[in-house]
Amino acid sequence: MLDRKGFDLWADEYDKAVGLSDEENSYPFAGYKEVLGGIFRTIMEKENPIVLDLGFGTGTLTTKLYEHGCTVYGQDFSERMVELASEKMPGAQLYLGDLTDGLAEPLRHQSYDFIVATYSLHHLTDEQKVKLLTDLLGRLNENGRILIGDVAFETRAKLDQCRQEAGDDWDDEEIYIVAEELRKAFPDLTFTQVSFCAGILTLA
């Protein structure tokens, strides 16, 4: 698993590496563009939404939202990622912070129409995910939603199948979401499988 310094070093090449994996339909980023596109379309159904993006990386999704009139807040644990995204979105309110510590202080005093996490929650343990999501649910505006796009599976069996097929490419340090297990904490969670290794989870 990459630490903060590792992500800083990888930041400039991140989009290229992700795009290659997506185009080859290979683990871990198969379906990446479709995942981001699905989340983007959902958010755009609301007029002038307030969006919090957790782990926004270089701002691939967030920049599109910003360009389409969304009020954008964000948090990422890589200083370089924050710098790159800030250049693309000078009017966004972006903060440095590790999700294992929860939201950065300024973000705790705002409520949101959508809270987005794409390819970022797999760095948290299952317990940390539940704690964070519980907190985030209390920060949604009326009819607000949490949208999670990530390497994720409906069942543990599907995850195990992907692990077997990925072989040596599988990252044992990542903790991917299994929807049926996360529903123990959040019974209303819905999951849409986008590729063999990715999907969109929705909480409201």
Domain ranges in the chain?
Answer: 4-203
The answer to whether the beta carbons of residues 149 and 119 sit under 8 Å apart is: yes
pTM summary value: 0.89
For the domain made up of 4-203, the CATH class stated in words is alpha beta
pLDDT digits (tens, 9 = 90+) for 150-181: 999 999 999 999 999 999 999 999 999 999 99
pLDDT digits (tens, 9 = 90+) for 88-136: 999 999 999 999 999 999 999 999 999 999 999 999 999 999 999 999 9
